[in-house]
Structure 1
Amino acid sequence: MKKIISDVVIIGAGPAGAIAGALIAKLGWVVNVIEREEFPRFSIGESLLPQCMKSLERADMMKVIKSAGFQLKNGAAFEWNGARTSFEFSDKFSNGPQTTFQVQRAKFDKILADEAERQGVKIYYNHIIKKAEVNKQKATLIVKNGDASLIFQARFVLDASGFGRVLPNLLKLDIPSEFPVRESVFTHVEDNINDSQFDRNKILITVHPKERDIWYWLIPFSDGRASIGVVGDKNKLAFLGDSPEEVLENSILSAPSLAKTLVNAKYDMPVQRIHGYSSNVSRLAGPGFALLGNAGEFLDPIFSSGVTIAMKSSELAAACLHKQLSGQTVDWDEEFSKPLKDGIEVFKTFVKSWYEGHFQDVIFYQTEKKEIKRMICSILAGYAWDKTNPFVAAPQRRLNALVEICSSE
């Protein structure tokens, strides 16, 4: 079998893999990426957070993204039973970019992958990993490309395979998620929105009028199309129809404000569904490997944290790898896993509280305490690693206190 050797091999050419590859290649290391699909390809996770802009800037990809014509995103809007509120990312606690983009992932991911290749990363599309042997000295991957078998060998492997979760499956790293099994049903539409209350510069999160653990996303794109999806308990959504189309149609009809916004929408793409997507692993790094983004832990679509966590993991891994490949000692738990988990735990606290209904009460609470809203806005903007923010430094304690205030006034 043909052997392909590099310093680092990355599994997956999505945002985590492309950014990690570019960062590592810029530091002078040889990087190969193995991707099972051909780009462009459909994916969800389309509403970025301002924190992502930092990662794109560090990977020298901001210029191409800014020139791609994606929809500007300057905040998030929420609606429930006629109550409306919004958060402007310009009015946040943390320093950093105030805007981001809402992107069709097929186009976005292709741009990032192409830019990584321009910076020296080699991507092997349509290659499927069949076996992995990873230890402290090297990583060896047995890969199929059509009828051909190849061996990829490197000093280290990063798994950025997303929901494919290649190394967690092959190395038996999976452990049960803390979250219950939820389902997401979604599609893209020609939205034809003429609702004067709708702001195309924001993601719209709508809460089901009666079932507060069911919610909807509406993510507008710059070309008059939008991503629409519903998320909820798998069993609850099953009552809304047998097919994904029925579930999505009936769930939207049960939320009058959203149905009004989408009254002229043209449904011209298949409706898809995924469930049981929340995941966790026994460890994020080990001898010869590290897990990036969704390949490690995925929480939930609410707050659009997935791509943000993926990009942050890429930055941390690239820094650790440069040290290790240069002959320095790296403590992957202290320098990669722990700092990454710090931000994940912040998001996790707010995700749990959202489904319990408590954080929803906070979102829709009309307060004069502007500084608190700015701190919450920073979380919604993805700044979950800014420990100058009290809601990052002590998320559970601070959120509990805020929930108590909102429920008592």
Structure 2
Amino acid sequence: MAVGQERSADALILGGGPAGSTAAALLAGAGVETLIVEGDPFPRFHVGESLLPHTLPLLDRLGVHQTVRDLPHTQRKDGASFVTHDGSKHVAYWFEDGFPPAIPHAYQVRRDEFDDALLANARRCGARVLGGWRATAPRWDGKRLVGLTVRDPDGREQFIRSRVLLDASGQSSFLASRMGWRFPYPMHRKAAAVSHFRGVWLPPGREAGNITIALTDQGWFWLIPFADGTVSVGAVLDVERWRALGSAPEDVFAAAVEATPEVARRLAGAAPLLPFAAIQNFSYRVMQVGGDGYCLVGDAAGFLDPVFSTGVFLATTTAAAAAQDVIEALARHGRVDAADLAPTTALTRSLQRLFFSFIRAYYDPHFLAFFFSPSGALEIPAAIVSLLAADVLRPGRWRRTSRYRALLALARAQRWSVRLGRPLVEPLAAGPASRA
């Protein structure tokens, strides 16, 4: 198909989710001509509904904190709760117990409302939005990305020229997929079945607002409550187990619930409100994050696992960093080179290494033995809380994460002590990487 009319923008952003709308609001607010290309109609369903406390300062910076707090389904979240498959072990981590100064809460949000609010804010800041438009191909001038070919809602193709592209396309990871930079994690192949429910049992008191993570055979469940009493429930399973249980997401979900007594108890009187959705192939790494005229932010730059709800934090944090790099580069020399984006690239890789290490540890039953039996020694509970809260940006990160590294060392010692028949702490009967 021939490419017709040509458009242009200083900053072209692919995707209007939290990463794209954050970058757009900051860029447009700084006077940079900004254009968002978003293929899906808003509002729309999306997972990733549990925010982390250290996302809130950026919501303040964007001027949307009050808006998010006042959304119809927003639920205050004071911590995160974890429970074994049979309910025999339970631990709640409270954000107020992190290393000071701790941010004591976050929110659970319906992503249709949250994403729509952030995109509306980007518009208010001056960003233009092309809704229903889809990118079809990048265009290069040597190693420099100079724009995108896009298709409008009527099927006509146009070229949009830009000084910089921020790929905020989420897990479709447009640029990495087109350029062959995206590779799956072969040892971490997961799939999720999810719906919203009414009638889910919730714990008493303020723990009712927490996200709950429940272990199951070769996976785990999330239970995320909203302000109206409805709950998002998802089952994350190894792909092999998914295939063994069936193909339809509702059948896989039902079989996983049946095999998980604690989740079955909580869902005994519940009914789904939405058709079940299947989310697959969401664990991948991206080999190239930035270059001349482009940067990948949020999930477009890689994703491993949703167990610690880091998605929105990583999306908005890396998007804000990229926006700042772009603003400074355009002011400095009117273009955006790979070197200009080096701070965002370094931040992205650093946060991925830290959180991916934490995620992998959660699939280690020896780590989980300590995680479910936290000792006050070495300030390990505070270190866990600070990671769960995403307290990883302010100075002193090495000191805060050193306790986490000590916990990893204890997990290695537990592995050897179990082999010798003298475990340091009581082993778990089952974990997300083992069979119940």
Please give the range of the TM-score, normalised by the shorter of the 2 chains: over 0.9
The offset of 1:225, in angstroms, is 1.1
Distance across 2 between alignment mates of 1:52 and 1:131? 32
Distance across 2 between alignment mates of 1:12 and 1:89? 31
Q: Which residue of 332, 348, 351 maps to 1:343?
A: 351
Q: Secondary structure, in 3 states, of the residue corresponding to 2:116? A: helix
The offset of 1:391, in angstroms, is 6.9
2:52 is matched with which residue? 49
| Residue range with higher mean Cα deviation, 98-107 or 198-207 | 198-207
Q: 1:244 to 1:337 in 2, by over 3 A?
A: same
2:99 is matched with which residue? 93
Q: 1:86 to 1:370 in 2, by over 3 A?
A: farther
Where do 1:192-207 residues align within 5 Å? 192-193=200-201, 196=204, 199-207=207-215
8 Å contact from structure 1 (residues 358, 403) kept in 2: yes
Q: 1:198 to 1:359 in 2, by over 3 A?
A: farther
Distance across 2 between alignment mates of 1:404 and 1:55? 36
1:247 is matched with which residue? 252
Distance across 2 between alignment mates of 1:118 and 1:18? 11
Q: Give the partner amino acid of 1:35.
A: E
Answering whether residue 37 of structure 2 is matched by residue 29 of structure 1, we say: no
1:77 is matched with which residue? 81
Distance across 1 between alignment mates of 2:378 and 2:271? 40
Q: 1:389 to 1:336 in 2, by over 3 A?
A: closer
Answering whether residue 304 of structure 2 is matched by residue 295 of structure 1, we say: no
| Residue range with higher mean Cα deviation, 143-152 or 344-353 | 143-152
2:365 is matched with which residue? 357
Q: Give the partner amino acid of 2:83.
A: E
8 Å contact from structure 2 (residues 383, 403) kept in 1: no
Where do 1:107-146 residues align within 5 Å? 107-135=113-141, 139-145=146-152, 146=154
**TM-score normalised by structure 1 residue count:** 0.93
Where do 1:124-203 residues align within 5 Å? 124-135=130-141, 139-145=146-152, 146-177=154-185, 179-193=187-201, 196=204, 199-203=207-211
Gaps of 5+ in 1: none
Distance across 1 between alignment mates of 2:25 and 2:151? 24
Q: 1:401 to 1:375 in 2, by over 3 A?
A: same
The offset of 1:392, in angstroms, is 5.8
2:339 is matched with which residue? 331
The offset of 1:282, in angstroms, is 1.3
The offset of 1:333, in angstroms, is 6.0
Answering whether residue 406 of structure 2 is matched by residue 398 of structure 1, we say: yes
Q: Secondary structure, in 3 states, of the residue corresponding to 1:183? A: strand
2:71 is matched with which residue? 68
Q: CA RMSD in A?
A: 2.2
The offset of 1:54, in angstroms, is 2.0
The offset of 1:363, in angstroms, is 1.6
- Residues 349-369 of structure 1: CA distance to partner in whole angstroms, max 9, x if unpaired? 111111122332222014233
The offset of 1:298, in angstroms, is 0.5
- Residues 352-405 of structure 1: CA distance to partner in whole angstroms, max 9, x if unpaired? 111122332222014233722011101011123456244765588433224257
8 Å contact from structure 1 (residues 214, 230) kept in 2: yes
- Residues 198-220 of structure 1: CA distance to partner in whole angstroms, max 9, x if unpaired? 93210000012xx3x41110001
Distance across 1 between alignment mates of 2:29 and 2:338? 20
Q: 1:392 to 1:334 in 2, by over 3 A?
A: farther
Identity %: 28
Q: 1:387 to 1:233 in 2, by over 3 A?
A: farther
Q: Secondary structure, in 3 states, of the residue corresponding to 2:308? A: helix
Q: 1:134 to 1:55 in 2, by over 3 A?
A: farther
**TM-score normalised by structure 2 residue count:** 0.87
Q: 1:404 to 1:235 in 2, by over 3 A?
A: closer
Q: 1:396 to 1:337 in 2, by over 3 A?
A: farther
Answering whether residue 48 of structure 2 is matched by residue 14 of structure 1, we say: no
Distance across 2 between alignment mates of 1:273 and 1:152? 33
Q: Give the partner amino acid of 1:408.
A: L
Distance across 2 between alignment mates of 1:253 and 1:32? 48
Q: 1:157 to 1:334 in 2, by over 3 A?
A: closer
Distance across 2 between alignment mates of 1:333 and 1:21? 16
